[in-house]
């Protein structure tokens, strides 16, 4: 991983990130924390012009963006991953920084957001990250992905329908949700099945988080 851009975030953000990573029980590669903070610094600069996120304070971004994304790491199987509706690169960029050998694709339909992601990937030296500017339904990869992940994307039924063609036969679709989406789970189409639901504890965040794991029915 290339040496990241020097971080402008204050010491409070660095301390919050370090404490949060410890609370999650994660062991990240050397330089990962600096790269995560460099990503936030770049996001903050772009956000002043392009409004990529409603979260404005860097310390809040650490909790609501970085730690929220990193909380899914213990539940990720091996394999290729596509972050559908990636937006500002969440959770795809934190995952790519934390697991730099994993092939990650960031998909978003907005040219503005893809412009930001292009600069972020280049500045952070994320060599295994690819970018796609398209709607999920339009993307036709050369081979399907082992993992499809979404965050604040759509209902479970809509996410399953729009990304089914992206998922390998034995792959899993992960949906990051707030409160347990009981009604959405009951409305899943017959070709999708719930494999597991994990409650997530995000350090410093007083809100419910859940990770819904879905698989394809043959």
Tell me the per-residue pLDDT of 81-134, one tens digit each, with 9 for 90 and over: 999 999 999 999 999 999 999 999 999 999 999 999 999 999 999 999 999 999
> Residue 48 has what pLDDT?
87
Residue 6 resides in a domain: no
Structural domains of the chain, count: 1
Domain containing 56 equals 11-216
Cβ contacts of 45 within 8 Å, gap of 6 or more: none
Residue 2 resides in a domain: no
Residue 3 resides in a domain: no
**Mean pLDDT throughout 20-41?**
97
Cβ contacts of 154 within 8 Å, gap of 6 or more: 85, 162
Residue 140 resides in a domain: yes
> Is pLDDT above 80 for 17?
yes
> Residue 10 has what pLDDT?
55
Residue 160 resides in a domain: yes
Token duo for residue 169: 């036969």
What percent of the chain clears pLDDT 90, i.e. is strictly above it?
A: 85
Q: Report yes or no: 98 and 73 within 8 Å, Cβ to Cβ.
A: yes
- How far is CA 22 from each of CA 15, 17, 64, 211, rounded to the nearest angstrom? 11, 9, 16, 20
Name the pLDDT band for 1 (thresholds 50, 70, 90): very low
Name the pLDDT band for 147 (thresholds 50, 70, 90): very high
> Is pLDDT above 90 for 202?
yes
Name the pLDDT band for 218 (thresholds 50, 70, 90): low
Name the pLDDT band for 3 (thresholds 50, 70, 90): very low
**Mean pLDDT throughout 49-68?**
90
Q: Positive or negative, the Cα torsion across 70, 73, 75, 76?
A: positive
Residue 198 resides in a domain: yes
Residue 39 resides in a domain: yes
Q: Positive or negative, the Cα torsion across 60, 62, 63, 68?
A: positive
Residue 70 and residue 93: Cα distance in Å, rounded? 10
Residue 5 resides in a domain: no
> Residue 192 has what pLDDT?
92
pTM over 0.85: yes
> Residue 5 has what pLDDT?
40
Residue 138 and residue 121: Cα distance in Å, rounded? 23
Identify the residue with better confidence: 26 or 7. 26
> Residue 159 has what pLDDT?
94
> Is pLDDT above 80 for 7?
no
Q: Report the CATH number at residue 158.
A: 3.40.50.150
């Amino acid at each position: 991983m290339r040496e990241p851009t020097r971080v402008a975030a204050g010491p409070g953000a660095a301390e919050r990130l370090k404490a949060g990573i410890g609370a999650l029980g994660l062991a990240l590669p050397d330089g990962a924390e600096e790269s995560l903070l460099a990503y936030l610094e770049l996001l903050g600069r772009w956000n002043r012009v392009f409004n990529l996120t409603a979260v404005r304070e860097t310390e809040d971004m650490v909790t609501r963006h970085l730690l929220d994304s990193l909380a899914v790491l213990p539940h990720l199987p091996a394999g290729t991953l596509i972050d559908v509706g990636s937006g500002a690169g969440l959770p795809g960029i934190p995952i790519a920084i934390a697991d730099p050998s994993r092939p990650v694709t960031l998909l978003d339909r907005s040219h503005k957001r893809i412009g930001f992601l292009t600069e972020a990937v280049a500045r952070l030296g994320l060599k295994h990250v690819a970018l796609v500017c398209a709607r999920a339904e339009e993307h036709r990869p050369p081979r399907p992905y082992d993992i499809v992940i979404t965050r604040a994307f759509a209902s479970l039924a809509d996410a399953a329908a729009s990304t089914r063609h992206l998922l390998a036969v034995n792959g899993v679709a992960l949906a990051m949700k707030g409160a347990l989406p009981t009604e959405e789970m009951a409305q899943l189409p017959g070709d999708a099945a719930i494999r597991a639901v994990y409650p997530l504890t995000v350090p410093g965040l007083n809100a419910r988080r859940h990770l819904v794991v879905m698989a394809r029915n043959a």
